[in-house]
């Protein structure tokens, strides 16, 4: 996790410098750009970027939000963690940021130690998902065998509907990541299944009821969506 390369795109120099100072202290290489144009230039020089910190409102060719959307279309960066930092703090903004492909979202002003901790979470999760060739997601009390669609809580096997199972595995494969209702809908919507935000909530309620005491692993993020506890 140390020695990761972090690309910071932020037009305010003070914030850029503070982020660099903070993350460098943890052994990361911090590459800085004041606009998307500059970031694209730097990305050609740096072989590997392990994490992006992107401001929403930026001067130049495109905003941070548009940049994130473009980034997610590139195979190379499909899984690279992105933390969005912005002064836009409304629930709608946060939802838009996460839907665009950000893994986490911080509103300004933010605490540098919190940012640093969130960087650690993202790098850790990325490491885990990279290694996660295993079919078994084991959270102690709750175990999920993906290929068998088998879920157990303690010793008891739980019967889930296919939608409940999908919701659970989407969350459990990325602990700490906030998923919006829109993201669940995109993942679940399919043949003969029409899903809305409200039906996601209904399935979630059903899922929580069935997994009983393991339900506290799933957190509701008010006005935004859900996340699986970052358990280590």
Q: How far is the CB of 6 from Ca ion (least distance, A)?
A: 18
Least gap, CB of 35 to Ca ion (angstroms): 10
29 binds Ca ion (CB under 5 A): no
Q: Smaller CB distance to Ca ion: residue 11 or 29?
A: 11
Q: Does 55 bind Ca ion (CB under 5 A)?
A: yes
Residue 55 vs 164, nearer CB to Ca ion: 55
- Nearest to 85, CA basis, from 126, 63, 76, 223: 63
Q: CB nearer to Ca ion: give 11 or 145.
A: 11
Question: Which listed range, 9-17, 162-170, 173-181, 205-213, lies at the site for Ca ion (CB under 5 A)?
Answer: 9-17
Closest CB to Ca ion among residues 14, 47: 14
Nearest distance from residue 109's CB to Ca ion, in Å?
13
Contact segment (CB under 5 A) with Ca ion among 6-14, 19-27, 166-174, 183-191 equals 6-14
Supply φ then ψ for residue 67, to 5 degrees: -60, -45
10: tokens are 């932020």
Residue 124: both structure tokens together: 């850790």
Report if residue 99 touches Ca ion, rule: CB under 5 A.
no
CA distances from 8 to 3, 34, 51, 72, 96 (A): 15, 8, 9, 17, 20
Q: Closest separation between CB of residue 67 and Ca ion, Å? A: 12
> Which residues partner with 107 through β-bridges?
86
Angle between helices 64-71 and 36-45 (to 10 degrees): 40
- CA distances to 79, 104, 150, 181, 224 from 99, rounded to whole Å, are 14, 11, 29, 9, 10
Interface segment toward Ca ion; rule CB under 5 A; list 50-58, 68-76, 188-196, 211-219: 50-58
CB 184 within 8 A of CB 170: yes
- Indicate the pairing of strand 82-86 with strand 104-107: parallel
Q: How far is the CB of 206 from Ca ion (least distance, A)?
A: 42
Among 46, 57, 74, 114, binds Ca ion (CB under 5 A): 57
Contact status, residue 188 vs residue 167, Cβ threshold 8 Å: yes
11 contacts Ca ion (rule: CB under 5 A): yes
Q: Which residues of the chain form contacts with Ca ion (CB under 5 A)?
A: 11, 55, 57
């Amino acid at each position: 996790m140390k020695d990761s390369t972090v690309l910071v795109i932020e037009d305010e120099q003070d914030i850029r410098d503070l982020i660099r100072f903070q993350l460098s202290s943890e052994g990361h290489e911090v590459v800085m750009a004041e606009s998307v144009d500059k970031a694209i230039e730097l990305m050609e020089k740096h072989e590997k970027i392990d994490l992006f910190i992107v401001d929403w409102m930026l001067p130049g060719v495109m905003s941070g939000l548009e940049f994130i959307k473009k980034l997610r279309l590139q195979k190379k960066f499909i899984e690279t963690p992105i933390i969005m930092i912005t002064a836009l703090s409304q629930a709608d903004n946060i939802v838009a940021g996460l839907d665009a492909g950000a893994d986490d979202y911080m509103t300004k002003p933010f605490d540098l130690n919190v940012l640093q901790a969130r960087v650690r979470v993202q790098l850790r999760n990325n490491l885990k998902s990279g290694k996660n060739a295993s079919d078994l997601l084991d959270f102690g009390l709750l175990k999920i065998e993906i290929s068998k669609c088998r879920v157990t809580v303690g010793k008891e096997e739980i019967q889930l509907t296919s939608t409940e199972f999908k919701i659970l595995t989407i969350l459990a494969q990325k602990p700490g990541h906030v998923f919006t209702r829109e993201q669940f809908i995109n993942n679940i919507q399919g043949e003969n299944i029409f899903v809305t935000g409200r039906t996601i909530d209904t399935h979630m309620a059903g899922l929580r009821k069935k997994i009983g005491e393991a339900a506290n692993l799933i957190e509701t993020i008010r006005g935004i969506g859900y996340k699986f506890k970052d358990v280590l």
